[in-house]
């Protein structure tokens, strides 16, 4: 393992690894999505390309790559071309700080959580620019929706994360995982003695993650039935393909984050088998479990109306997350006060 100590090679390997991980996930989650949709609707899903359809993403990719990237006249050419890049880059950046195992992390920052959230919010801007640069009324309506939706859901998400930060006391993602060592009741989602509303906190986080990644039932950015394809209306070929892949890459990042913050990351749920190669196994199991839930939710619920989407955030999620924040603070500080005065 001496060659891994060489920093440039290590970084290069992680770069290639993360790109491959995101690419493979984006490609095969599309297949998983279609297969999952088929399963729920009692049909087999794509099953012609390769054995059981395993070559479907490859076929889709070739088809998209073979198409011409067309920039419609009158669009803002630079922004139009830049938007797919800007939407794909943040998830790649976020994964740099995600610890897949005890030592399997590209760059362990002590502000990892902050970095993930700051890069995660670029996604909104990319979608907005893409829609705005398209010079298309549907795309612009979609851009407006994306912004108001993401602003609305960023708030409860960050409130929930602040609650967690008060519990963990660190922004280092690996440190947050290490605090959840042991059996599964040491995971943050089960720490009801810290805050009895911890499972609710996770639900809020998960809901916000769905909304932030523009997933059904909150896929207002790409409301096919009313807005053609939303912000991606004018995109064709791989430009559209990149937006599509970025959606899945963002889901991967969101589920990674949920795994780290609430499900103990690479920690084993049974106390043993936690170290070494078992770490990534547990991590990926938990992550794909959450991704499966995301797909399951998409094919269960119809799209919400836009005002009920905003109502959910402003009238329900934000008050509850504020309440959990206050409750956590109170439960942490009241014993200290008690000790001081009595």
Partner 1 sequence: MSLTTAFRETYRGFKSLLIGMRITAREAAKPSITMQYPHETLKMPDRFRGHVKLILDPTTGKSRCTACNLCVRACPSDCIDVEGMKREGEKKKSVTEYHVDFTTCSLCGSCVEACPSDAIEYSKAYNVVSQNREDFTHMDLVKDLDKEAKVWAQDHPAPATPPVAVAPPPPTPPSVAKPTPTSAPATAPTPAPSASTAVARPQSPDQPTP
State which residue, 108 or 304, has the beta carbon closest to partner 1: 304
Please check whether residue 91 is in contact with residue 249, taking contact to mean a CB–CB distance below 8 angstroms. Answer: yes
CB of 216 to partner 1, least distance (A): 12
CB of 295 to partner 1, least distance (A): 10
H/E stretch holding 219: none
State which residue, 47 or 108, has the beta carbon closest to partner 1: 47
State which residue, 206 or 235, has the beta carbon closest to partner 1: 206
Q: What is the DSSP string of 109-124?
A: -TTHHHHHHHHHTHHH
Tokens for 179?
């605090």
State which residue, 202 or 240, has the beta carbon closest to partner 1: 202
Positions that interact with partner 1 (CB under 8 A)? 36, 38-44, 47, 203, 296-297, 299-301, 315-316
State which residue, 83 or 290, has the beta carbon closest to partner 1: 290
Please check whether residue 286 is in contact with residue 204, taking contact to mean a CB–CB distance below 8 angstroms. Answer: no
Count of beta carbons in the 10 Å neighbourhood of residue 253 = 27
CB of 178 to partner 1, least distance (A): 32
CB of 198 to partner 1, least distance (A): 16
Q: Which residue has the tokens 């939710």?
A: 297
CB of 292 to partner 1, least distance (A): 11
Alpha-carbon gap, residue 102 to 267, rounded angstroms: 9
Residues contacting residue 264 through CB under 8 Å, at least 6 positions apart: 177, 180, 181, 184, 186, 187, 188, 282, 286
- The b-or-e profile of 267-287 (16+ CB within 10 A means b, else e) is bbbeeeebeeebbbebbbebb
State which residue, 116 or 295, has the beta carbon closest to partner 1: 295
CB of 89 to partner 1, least distance (A): 33
């Amino acid at each position: 393992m001496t060659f891994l100590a060489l920093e440039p090679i290590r970084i290069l390997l992680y770069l290639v690894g993360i790109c491959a991980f995101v690419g493979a996930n984006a490609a095969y989650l599309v297949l998983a999505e279609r297969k999952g949709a088929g399963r729920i609707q009692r049909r087999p899903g794509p099953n012609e390309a390769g054995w059981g359809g395993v070559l479907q993403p490859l076929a889709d990719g070739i088809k998209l790559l073979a198409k011409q990237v067309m920039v419609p006249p009158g669009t803002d050419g630079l922004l139009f071309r830049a938007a797919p890049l800007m939407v794909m880059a943040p998830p790649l950046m976020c994964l740099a700080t995600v610890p897949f195992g005890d030592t399997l992390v590209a760059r362990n920052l002590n502000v990892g959580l902050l970095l993930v959230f700051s890069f995660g919010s670029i996604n909104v801007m990319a979608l907005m620019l893409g829609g705005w640069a398209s010079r298309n009324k549907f795309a612009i309506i979609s851009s407006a929706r994306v912004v108001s939706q993401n602003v609305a859901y960023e708030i409860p998400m960050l409130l929930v994360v602040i609650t967690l930060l008060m519990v963990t006391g660190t922004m280092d993602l690996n440190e947050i995982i290490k605090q959840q060592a042991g059996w599964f009741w040491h995971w943050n989602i089960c720490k009801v003695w810290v805050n009895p509303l911890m499972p609710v906190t996770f639900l809020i986080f998960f809901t916000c993650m769905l909304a932030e990644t523009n997933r059904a039932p909150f896929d207002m950015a790409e409301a096919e039935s009313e807005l053609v394809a939303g912000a991606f209306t004018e995109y064709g070929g791989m430009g559209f393909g990149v937006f599509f892949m970025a959606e899945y890459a963002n889901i991967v990042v969101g589920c990674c984050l949920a795994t780290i913050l609430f499900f103990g990351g690479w920690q084993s749920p049974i106390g043993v088998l936690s170290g070494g190669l078992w770490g990534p196994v547990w991590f990926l199991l938990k992550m794909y479990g959450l991704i499966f839930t995301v797909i399951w939710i998409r094919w269960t619920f119809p799209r919400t109306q836009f005002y009920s989407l905003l109502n959910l955030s402003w009238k329900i999620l934000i008050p509850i997350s504020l309440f959990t924040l206050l409750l956590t603070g109170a439960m942490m500080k009241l014993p200290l006060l008690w000790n001081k005065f009595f």
